[in-house]
Amino acid sequence: MSYLPYAVAAWLCLVGLAGVATSKNLIHLAICLTVTQSSSYVLLLTVGYVKHGKAPIFKGVKLGTTAVDPVVQALTLTDVVVSVAVVALILALALDAHRLSGTVDPDRIADVSG
């Protein structure tokens, strides 16, 4: 049971990768990539969890109360921002691909030359 969160992260990563590789639609592919990326959020937050720890926010909470690691939470924030940036670029590329080839199916785009 105490390894479940790690297993969830591993599962999200694998499922996302499977989705990316078998995707028939570039927009679906972008969403699968966010699933893969979500595994890193789960992993980061899991690594920083302290048993019975509270959120690392000390407004109205006595200093020294057990709290989880704020570093990985800040890293998760960066992770989310990177995810948004990457998805936006992929969607823009998908729009471009659709304009040039008239399809968003990666297999059929590969057949279009030029």
Partner 1 sequence: MTRRLRIGVLAPALLGLAGLFAWAIAGLPAFGDYRGPYGYVLNRIVVPLRHSTNVVMGTTFDVRGIDTMAEEFILYASVLGVTLLLRDEASAGRVERRTRRLRSDAVRLLGVVMVGGGLLVGLWLVAFGYITPGGGFPGGVVLAGAILLLYLVGSHRDYHPFRNEHVLDPFEGIGAGGYVVTGLAALASGMPFLANLFGHGQTGTLASAGSIGILNGAAGLAVAVAMLLLFAEFLETYVVPLEPEDAGS
Q: Give contact residues for partner 1 (rule: CB under 8 A).
A: 2-7, 10, 13-14, 17-18, 21-22, 46-53, 55-60, 63-64, 67-74, 77-78, 80-82, 84-86, 88-89, 91-93, 95-96, 99, 107
Cβ atoms of 114 and 36 within 8 Å: the answer is no
Cβ-based nearer residue to partner 1, 52 or 113: 52
- Closest approach of Cβ 13 to partner 1, in Å? 7
Residue (35 or 47) nearer to partner 1, CB: 47
Instruction: Give the pair of three-digit tokens for residue 51.
Output: 């048993």
Distances (CA, A) of 68 to 46, 54, 88, 93, 95: 10, 6, 31, 39, 41
